[in-house]
Amino acid sequence: MGKKFRVFATADIGESIELLRERDYEVEVYPKPEAPPKSLIIEKVGSGIDGLITTLRDPIDAEVFEAGKGTLKVVAQIAVGFDNINRTDANRYKVPFTHTADVLTEATAEFAFFLLGSVARKMWPAEHLTRENRWGYWHPYLPFVGDEVTGKTIAVIGTGRIGQALIKKCSGFDMIGWKISDDTDDDSPSGYVHIQNGEEFIGGIQPVHFRQPGTPAHWLPYLFTSNCDATAAKAKQLGAKFYMEPTTMENVGRFGVLADPQGATFAIFQSMPRK
């Protein structure tokens, strides 16, 4: 029987510890809620452990890597960030380290959403009023009924993982203000999704299979014009580079894709009446 893979965790990270043990890892967990002293981490690494599970509060640098020289195989961090790990030292000692990049996406989006509700409904001052026993009467809206978040419009600056997660939560409370529809009722459905703000068309989402191979997911702003060809000619005079010359989409409009002299890419669009 081979030697077991030994792991030291600087904190109890929950059921994952038991999953490791079920897979025959030998796991020791620091039992206290506060961070272990660095001297203890060095001691454990120096005892010959193979893997070290860390959190943001644990300084992992040359001292730690030197203690585990020849035995420490990996540092696994349970956090999105990893500023506590000296990357230069890790590379010098050739010890790979990992982090849990998506572990707080939903949690962060939830906190943002709950804060919106707490502020709108004045939960903080209302909680203090209750704790101080100064809530002596009932009234339809005084003193702290607050306002609804349902139906309000939210602006999300940045649509990375957290921004997208927040948008999903807000959409359930009608806070996005967008109407989503597709072209499945058309004679030749393409899967293109139309986005409207009220009755105004403001954007669309194109299926991946319509993109050129190698094209990543992206945002492409459209600038509306009354004459696509005239606008394209003027853009060329001003130094624009065209990726797609003005083209007609039946029952939709005429459009082209270009970049300005600084490289910013956008589209120009002339709508046409549907036949």
Exposed, middle or buried: residue 193 (CB in 10 Å: 0-12, 13-18, 19+)? middle
Average pLDDT value for residue range 62-75: 97
Query: Residue 52 in contact with residue 74, Cβ under 8 Å?
Result: yes
Q: What CATH number belongs to 6-98?
A: 3.40.50.720
pLDDT tens for 142-170 read: 778 888 888 888 888 877 788 888 988 98
Contact predicate 268/223, CB 8 Å: yes
pLDDT of residue 242: 93
Q: Identify the CATH number of the domain defined by range 179-211+219-271.
A: 3.10.180.10
86, 39, 91, 92: which is closest to 67 by C-alpha? 39
**pLDDT tens-digit map of 125-139:** 888 888 999 888 888
What pTM was estimated for this model as a whole?
A: 0.58
Can you give the residue ranges of every domain in the chain?
6-98, 105-171, 179-211+219-271
